[in-house]
Amino acid sequence: MSWSTRYALALIPTAITLGGWQLAVWAFGYLGCQGNIKELAPCHAGSFNLLPWLGIGLFWCPLLSFLTVPVSALFLIYVGATHIGSHNGGGK
pLDDT, tens digit (0-9, with 9 covering 90-100), for 35-87: 666 656 667 778 888 888 888 898 999 999 999 999 999 999 999 999 998 87
The answer to the question of residue 72 being in a domain is: yes
The answer to the question of residue 56 being in a domain is: yes
Q: Which of 79, 29, 87, 85 is nearest to 58 (CA)?
A: 29
Instruction: Give pTM, 2 decimals.
Output: 0.76
Among the residues of the chain, which ranges form H helices? 3-30, 51-55, 61-87
The answer to the question of residue 89 being in a domain is: no
The answer to the question of residue 28 being in a domain is: yes
The answer to the question of residue 64 being in a domain is: yes
Domain count, the chain: 1
33 pLDDT tier (thresholds 50, 70, 90): confident
The answer to the question of residue 22 being in a domain is: yes
The answer to the question of residue 91 being in a domain is: no
- The boundaries of the domain holding residue 46 are 3-84
